[in-house]
Amino acid sequence: MAYALVALGFVLALNAAGAVNFAHGDLVVLGGALASFVGLSIGLPAVLLLPLVAVAIGVVGIIAARIAILPLASRPPEATFVATIALAAIIEQSLTIAMAGAPRTAPALLGGGSFTIAGFVLGRQPLAIVVLGAVLVAAVWFLLERTQTGRRMRAVAADRYMARAVGIPVGRYVILSLALSGALAGVAGFLLGHQFLVAPTQGAGHMLKAYIAVALGGWGSVPGALLGALGIGLFETFAAARFGDAWASAALYICVLAVLALRPRGLFGEPVGRRA
């Protein structure tokens, strides 16, 4: 479910920016690192920590939009790719310096331990992740589909020039999308940060999984990205349980390559003429 949040944020940024945000994975890591940092040093309760992380990484998303995405809007998508890769490197290196190389753990959302329902043992944290993830996905869906702001965000994503022509301040909505994308990345980082350790070099891995989810689920499609992420999560869990982590990852990459070789436009295709 945490993958779903990563992928959801990724696809929002993708649609708004019109190009892949390679720094997205590092925003996730940044969220985890921030959570562990503040959580451990101040001991803030998770209920307060969560919104704090979301807001902070949302602000980072805004900064990313301001420096690496909006100024390059009129250039080919490769320019944005490179700028966000540079941004990713900046975040990763800053974190490496700040964390002094030692991986950390983010605090749990509902405290540790587990409880039993009808014979199934459930960890509190996994349960918290699923519930929180579902709530956030629903909230984003509501925002995009049921509010004027969301409609405008989708208009900007679908056709930037047309959106500008009907009077939508495109820049502002791109920034808003990136803020939302960042906030989701931060929350995802927080959640993942308790399950796994937080290390600065994980960013590329997170980004790659979100990228794969979006490519498999249909480029730029929000529900597609969610399905893709859930699919990847399940696939990895089961494959890892049977064959080990390394084989699970290898199989995932091979699947992606096979899909791209057979369906050069993605599993479900994409509207013709769409900009990358």
Partner 1 sequence: MRLSPFWLILLVLPPLLALFVLPPFGQRMVILAGIYGLMGLGYQLVFGQLGALNLAQGALFGLGAYAAALTAPILGPFALPVAILAAAIPAALVAGPLLRLQSHYFALATLALASLVNLSAVHAESLTGGANGLAGFATSLPRGPALLATVWVCLIAGVLLYAWLFEGKLGERARLLREAPLLAATLGIDGAAWRFVAFVVGGALAGLAGACSAALSGVVSPEATGFSIMVLCLTLVVLGGSRHPMGAVVGAALAVGLPELLRDLQGAWLLAYAVATLAVVLWAPEGLAGLIDRLRGARPAPAEPPGLPDVLPAVGGPKTLVLEGVGKRFGGVEALADVSLWLARGEVLGLIGANGSGKSTLLNVINALERADTGLIALDKLRIERLSTPEIARAGIARTFQTLALAGDSKMADLARAVATGAPFLLLDEPAAGAGDHERRELVGIIRRLRDAGRGVLIVDHDIELLSRVCDRLVCLDRGRVIASGRPADVRADPHVRASFLGLDGIAA
**Pattern of binders to partner 1 over 17-36, x per CB under 8 A?**
--xx----------------
Binder among 62, 130, 168, 204 for partner 1 (CB under 8 A): 204
Task: Kindly tell me which of 134 and 276 has the beta carbon lying closer to partner 1.
Answer: 276
Q: Of 95, 123, 109, 90, nearest to 193 (Cα)?
A: 109
Residue 208 engages partner 1 in binding (rule: CB under 8 A): yes
Task: Kindly tell me which of 89 and 155 has the beta carbon lying closer to partner 1.
Answer: 89
**Pattern of binders to partner 1 over 252-271, x per CB under 8 A?**
-xx-xx--xx--xxx-----
Binder among 111, 238, 250, 269 for partner 1 (CB under 8 A): 250
Q: How far is the CB of 94 from partner 1 (least distance, A)?
A: 6
Residue 3 engages partner 1 in binding (rule: CB under 8 A): no
**Pattern of binders to partner 1 over 49-68, x per CB under 8 A?**
------------------xx
Q: Of 168, 216, 161, 200, nearest to 30 (Cα)?
A: 200
Binder among 44, 59, 81, 150 for partner 1 (CB under 8 A): 81
Who contacts 8 (Cβ-Cβ below 8 Å, separation ≥6)? 136, 137, 140, 184, 222, 225, 226, 229
Piece of the chain touching partner 1 by CB under 8 A; list 52-60, 138-146, 158-166, 203-211: 203-211
Calpha distance 83→256 (Å, rounded): 25
Residue 249 engages partner 1 in binding (rule: CB under 8 A): yes
Q: How far is the CB of 102 from partner 1 (least distance, A)?
A: 14
Q: How far is the CB of 22 from partner 1 (least distance, A)?
A: 9
Q: What values do phi and psi take at 106, rounded to 5?
A: -80, 150
Residue 82 engages partner 1 in binding (rule: CB under 8 A): yes
Residue 229 engages partner 1 in binding (rule: CB under 8 A): no
The footprint of partner 1 (CB under 8 A) covers 19-20, 67-68, 71-72, 75-79, 81-83, 85-90, 93-94, 96-97, 204, 208, 211-212, 215, 219, 246, 249-250, 253-254, 256-257, 260-261, 264-266, 276
